[in-house]
Amino acid sequence: MQEKIYKYAPMILLLGGLIMLLVTLLLERYYSYGHYGDDLAWRFYAIIQILITTVLGGLVKSLYRQVHIDMLTGLHNRRYFSTKLSAIQAQTPISLLLIDIDNFKGINDTYGHVTGDQVLRQFAEILQNSIRNFAIDNIVARWGGEEFAVILPRTGAKEAFKIADGIRIIVENHLFSCESIACKITVSIGIASTKEGADIDIEELIKISDAALYKAKEKRNYVYYCYG
C-alpha cells in the first residue's frame, strides 16, 4: 500500500493543488456577492490548506527516504552517494573509503540472516558515529550487501588512513549481538585520495578505491590506500 502511495505521489500533489485552486475560485466568487462579514469559510479553507500541505509534505519526505535511504541500515544508499560525490568535486583533497565486512557470508551461514541483518545495522551505527566525530559533512552510505562507502571532503590520504584504521580497530574490538547470539567481525578498507586542487574523475576514484579494497581483503582486517 505504501509503495503505491509513493508511486502516485506526483498525481496526489497535482490533485491537491487543483483542489486548492478550485476552492480558492469558489470562495472568491462567493465573496464577490458581498458576503464580507462571515470569514468562517476562509478559516475553514486555511485549515484544509494546512492539512493538505502537511499530508503532502509527509508523502514527499517518505518518498525521499525511499529513494535515498537504505531501509535496513538507515544510511544513505548508493544512488545518493554517487550524486553527492559528483557534487563535491571542488572540495579537494577528497578521500573515498570502501569498506567490506570480512567473511560476512560465514556470519549468515552460521547464525542466520536475522543475525546478519542485525550485524549490518550495528556496524552502520558504529560507522556513522565514528565518521561524525571527524566532520559533519562526511557522508556514509551502504554501497551494497556488506560493503559500505564513506566520502571524506577536504581530507588527504594520511588523515583518511588514520580515520579508516580507527574504524577498523573499533569494529575489531566490538561485540556484536542479536538476542542470545554474540559474535565479532573485522573489516577491510580500501582508500583512494586526490591531491588538493587536482581534477577529479569520479569513476576513476571509485575504481582506485575498489582496487585498494581488493588489496585489503587479501589480508583481511586491513587498511590499504593509494592516491588518485
In single-letter form, the type of residue at position 149 comes to: A
Angle at 79 between CA 73 and CA 84, to 5 degrees: 100
Residue pair 225/193 in contact by the 8 Å Cβ criterion: yes
Q: Write out the H or E segment, with its range, that includes residue 43.
A: helix 40-68
Closest CA to 190 of 214, 157, 162: 214
The answer to whether residue 179 is catalytic is no
50, 72, 82, 97, 188 from 222: Cα distances, Å: 54, 26, 25, 13, 5
Q: Which of 28, 125, 146, 147 is catalytic?
A: 146
Q: What is the spatial distance between Cα 220 and Cα 172, in angstroms, rounded to a whole number? A: 11
Residue pair 94/194 in contact by the 8 Å Cβ criterion: yes
Q: What is the spatial distance between Cα 169 and Cα 187, in angstroms, rounded to a whole number? A: 9
> What residues are labeled active site?
146
